[in-house]
Amino acid sequence: MELIIGGAYQGKREYAKSHFHMDDTDIFTCREDGEPDWSARCIAGLENFALRCVREGADPVELMKDHKSQWQNSVLISEDIFCGVVPLGAENRAWREAAGRLCQYLASEAAGVTRMFCGIARRLK
């Protein structure tokens, strides 16, 4: 599994498509409602999956572990929402924490981790 992280509009999807030879049909984007397509070649928007888990009282790390056999060969993309100013609202703080814990787990499981900034890929692992 490869993990790509970075802020909004930093080139994460474009990097995934060019580096891993994919097109838009290979990328499933998580929403705040609904279950991810765990078998997709690329799962993007994992921060939205974390928000859904917070709202449902579920642990995103445990749910990812439950489906590991399905995503272990995928490219995973998450927007970096766990840095910067701490949000005022309780739900947004919980979301930020859940997204951070999720990315820590995924980074520990990943063969490679790439951070995107201004369209520049920096390999972290």
What pLDDT shows up at residue 83? Answer: 76
What pLDDT shows up at residue 87? Answer: 78
What pLDDT shows up at residue 82? Answer: 76
What pLDDT shows up at residue 10? Answer: 96
User: Looking at the whole model, is its pTM more than 0.85?
Assistant: yes
Spans of the chain, pLDDT less than 70: none
3-state SS, one letter per residue, for the chain: CEEEEECCCCCHHHHHHHHCCCCHHHEEECCCCCCCCCCCCEEECHHHHHHHHHHHCCCHHHHHHHCHHHHCCCEEEEECCCCCCCCCCHHHHHHHHHHHHHHHHHHHHCCEEEEEECCEEEECC
The length of the chain in residues reads 125
Domain 2-123: CATH class, spelled out: alpha beta
For the stretch 10-34, pLDDT in tens is 999 999 999 999 999 999 999 988 8
**Cα separation values, 96 from 8, 77, 88, 104, Å:** 14, 16, 11, 12
As a whole number of angstroms, the distance between CA 92 and CA 94 comes to 5
